[in-house]
Amino acid sequence: MADAPQEFDVIVIGAGISGLYQLYRLRELGLTVRVLEAGTGVGGTWYWNRYPGARFDSESYSYGYSFSKELLEEWDWTEHFSPQPETLRYLNFVADKFDLRRDIQFRSRVAAAHYSDDRRGWDITLEDGSRFRSRFLITAIGPLSAPTMPRIPGIDSFKGRSFHTGKWPHEAVTFEGKRVAVIGTGATGVQTIQEVAKTVGHLTIFQRTPNWCAPLHNGKISKEEMAGIRAEYPAIFKRCQETFSCFLHTPDPRSALEVSDEEREAFFEKLYAEKGFGIWQGNFKDILTDRKANALISDFVARKIRQRVKDQAVAEKLIPKNHGFGTRRVPLETRYYEVYNQPNVKLVDINETPIERVTENGIKTSDREYEFDIIIYATGFDAITGSFDRIDIEGEGGLKLKQHWKGGPQTYLGVMVEGFPNMMMLMGPHTALGNIPRSIEYNVEWVTDLIRYARDHQISRIAATPAGVKSWTDHVKSLGVGLLSNEIDSWMTGINRNVEGKDTRIIARYSGSAPAYRERCDAVAANDYRELALA
């Protein structure tokens, strides 16, 4: 006979940034919690994405947790944009400091979660068959955590080594003297390419769509600088609270069209020379909504690419033609464009010569076969809803979440779903993503307050109402109107042609301001959660 299920007040799926913090907060309520984590360690995104060059594009000191003064005192960032190994060390440090591991079960991939209205709780089953029961289910499974391979024939026939960037091995991979292929030129591909290019024998990049990249301007943080940053933490986090997407950068109130050509050019130059996302998130207010304004910044960055890449035929291939600057996620780079000036680097535009198949020895395009020792798939994720789709999540009356969301997600505040009582999502669809840890902290605290309220008022069933879901989903859709990014295929609009059924654009992200999101959620809490059905 199968073992009886283990019972907890709350099951959290995932021990990444959100799962760790959620555990910390729920413990404060005195609840029994078990975090189920597929990996062998904590860290989520920063556990899985060990590919060469992986790092933050948000300033390290704006990205770390802000909730613990002690933690802020004890942790030193060593680079303005922390590399993945340091971030993983940080998250392990957090887990140790708050003694979180004793409630985390590793090597535990959740296969199914079914709601039972009789018990007002969830039945959770792992891939190995072990079972859990809980009153509440909290998904902390990440918006970019279901890696997807391209649908190219012959992938399994390759005799060399191959990796998806999101499932990178724990041991070091070296590239000296190797013939390496990278497929994909999104934020991940760009980071990978510029790092691999430093040591590789020969590198071939297979590009389908170029992206508009901008300089990261990373640098080391000295001990003295770190002391200065530490003193600034209250101001840093206050600023993140106030900006549109919780970054240190926020749009300039001017229109790109209202200033003189000289003033505009000088401002673009300034942004191009500054650290981080300023050129995307801190640019003129209309570059992401007004085609003319967008064309001005696109033209500016195109000129930079032409200046930086010596072979103008290659430069043209690297300049996006089907979308404007910032309408897809802007990869931040360090000497990315200069990589294409190396004699041992080749760019293959697969629109001109499509990949036909992966062979035993490499990759065959329409015009020739390339031989490789290593193929790197930087082909991205089944974003936002993909991590939900991988789990058999069943709500009331056998309703499957995957089916329910077929035409796009419908949520209440991005946290709850109608028909799935007692399930709360952290960084689910329709929440403010932006500088993710800032959004996570708010999301976790809101969910914790809701569960505290339920505990204090003997409530055992929390459900989103049809009216609440309709109103939030309509609101999220209305916010997306007029955004140039919603007219473009990307993971941000739910497109991933490597996944069945993900070929129609959807509104999966909340694109209003983070302060407005918090204001709305705060009002719901202040009003005793009357918009939810509590019983």
Residues that bind ligand NA7 (CB under 6 A): 144, 150, 183-189, 208-209, 329, 350, 378-381, 491, 498
From the centroid of its chain, how far is CA 84? Answer: 14
Contact call for residues 238 and 246 (beta carbons, < 8 A): no
In the complex with ligand NA7, the residue whose CB is nearer, 153 or 228, is 153
Q: 320 or 419: whose CB is closer to ligand NA7?
A: 320
Shorter beta-carbon distance to ligand NA7: residue 265 or 489: 489
Name the residue nearer to ligand NA7 (CB basis): 327 or 422.
327
| 68 CB-side CA count, 13 A | 15
3-state secondary structure of 396: helix
Q: How many CB atoms lie within 10 A of CB 357?
A: 13
| C-beta neighbour count of 492 within 10 angstroms | 22
Q: Is 5 exposed, middle or buried (0-12, 13-18, 19+ CB in 10 A)?
A: middle
Q: Nearest approach, Cβ of 211 to ligand NA7 (angstroms)? A: 7
- The amino acid that residue 85 corresponds to is P
> 421 exposed, middle or buried (CB, 10 Å; 0-12, 13-18, 19+)?
buried
Residue 54, burial from CB neighbour count under 10 angstroms (0-12, 13-18, 19+): buried
State how beta strands 161-164 and 214-215 pair: unpaired
Smallest distance from ligand NA7 to CB 108, Å: 24
Nearer to ligand NA7, 329 or 505 (CB): 329
8 A C-beta contact, residue 186 and residue 331: yes
Instruction: Indicate the SS3 state at residue 447.
Output: helix
For residues 229 and 77, the answer to whether their CB atoms sit within 8 Å is yes
With CB atoms as reference, the residue minimizing the distance to ligand NA7 is 186
For ligand NA7, give the closer residue by CB, 186 or 494: 186
Rounded to a whole number of angstroms, the minimum distance from the CB of residue 237 to ligand NA7 is 21
Phi first, then psi: what are they for 395, rounded to 5°?
A: -100, -150
Residue 124 or 187: the one with the smaller Cβ distance to ligand NA7 is 187
